[in-house]
Amino acid sequence: MMVDLHCHILYQTDDGPSSIEESIRMIEKAAEAGFTDLVLTPHYFPNGPYLKTAQENREKFEILRLVSQRAGLPVNLYLGNEVMNAFKVPALFEEGTVLPLGQTHYALIETGRKGTSEEALLTTIRKLDQAGLTAIFAHPERIDFVKEDPQTLKTFRRRGCLVQMNYLSLIGYYGEDVRRTAEELLRNGMVQLIGSDAHQADAYEWWAQAREEGSRILGEEKFLRILENGGKVIQGEAVLSRPGSPKVTVSAFCPSDSLKGIFFD
């Protein structure tokens, strides 16, 4: 099982593919790279411009899943969101406007690259935790306050938040400063999850090189153990996204429980 927890493959929802043909091309490339499970995570920006609701995304997702199946592509598809941090994010999950990753209690959250504070994000993480959701901080290596002080991620870890790094960061796709930060985070055991953040098919062509680089930094065994965490996330217990399931209490998903089985260096 090789999971990509973060990709923009769903057509006509965000700045990813503009047609279903392009979506299928991305899935083909992901499969060629060795990915077996893809969690589609369309952007949702509470203040615009990406405002497609889970309901709208589900309709397209079901069509794409059918087309992918009929094309015989050997991948499992799941639906989630990558949600830009804002005051109302916990409410958006609560009302079902946005989705956690698949049928799990993991929520992928991003924050603006420039001029954002860690405090605002930590507040959202705390509120999500109170609602039974475990936050995953998307690609912190690209965020200014993390680049300035990577150690700040220790506070996030203490609050039970997981860290997802983009593998493209490791090969300098976003520039040298991001690459340097990604390497430091990886070396210091601050990364628990890896994703592509693919917006187009060529992102998957870089996986082999990124894997090599990750293995050089951390040793292959440790790097691949981080990759395996993706499987643990996607097999996590259902929380808010499963209609009719009992509301999960905070104590049932306290940070220590929700991190059980997740590899930390």
- Closest contact distance (angstroms) between CB of 216 and Fe ion is 25
Distance CA 33, CA 203 (A): 10
Q: Name the token pair of 189.
A: 């055991």
When the beta carbons of 82 and 118 are compared against Fe ion, the nearer one is 82
When the beta carbons of 68 and 166 are compared against Fe ion, the nearer one is 166
Torsion of CA 89, 140, 222, 208, to 10 degrees: 100
- Closest contact distance (angstroms) between CB of 6 and Fe ion is 6
Per CB under 5 A, 183 contacts Fe ion: no
- Closest contact distance (angstroms) between CB of 246 and Fe ion is 31
Pairing verdict, β 134-138 and 162-166:
parallel
Q: 193 to 212, contacts with Fe ion by CB under 5 A?
A: 197
Going by C-alpha positions, the residue among 89, 99, 95 that lies closest to residue 124 is 89
The string of DSSP letters for 25-65 reads HHHHHHHHHT--EEEE--EE-TTSS----HHHHHHHHHHHH
Per CB under 5 A, 129 contacts Fe ion: no
When the beta carbons of 16 and 150 are compared against Fe ion, the nearer one is 16
- Closest contact distance (angstroms) between CB of 80 and Fe ion is 11
Distance CA 42, CA 1 (A): 22
Distance CA 210, CA 215 (A): 8
Distance CA 233, CA 136 (A): 10
Using the rule CB under 5 A, give the single segment among 80-88, 167-175, 243-251, 254-262 that binds Fe ion: 80-88
When the beta carbons of 37 and 82 are compared against Fe ion, the nearer one is 82
- Closest contact distance (angstroms) between CB of 35 and Fe ion is 16
**How many residues touch Fe ion (CB under 5 A)?**
2
Q: 163 to 182, contacts with Fe ion by CB under 5 A?
A: none
- Closest contact distance (angstroms) between CB of 8 and Fe ion is 6
Distance CA 32, CA 263 (A): 26
Q: Say if residues 124 and 92 touch (Cβ distance below 8 Å).
A: no
Distance CA 14, CA 48 (A): 11
When the beta carbons of 82 and 141 are compared against Fe ion, the nearer one is 82
The string of DSSP letters for 103-153 reads TSSEEEEE--SSS--HHHHHHHHHHHHHTT-EEEEE-GGGSHHHHH-GGGH
Per CB under 5 A, 82 contacts Fe ion: yes
When the beta carbons of 11 and 253 are compared against Fe ion, the nearer one is 11
- Closest contact distance (angstroms) between CB of 138 and Fe ion is 6
Q: Point out the residue whose Cβ comes nearest to Fe ion.
A: 197
* Contacting residues toward Fe ion, per CB under 5 A: 82, 197
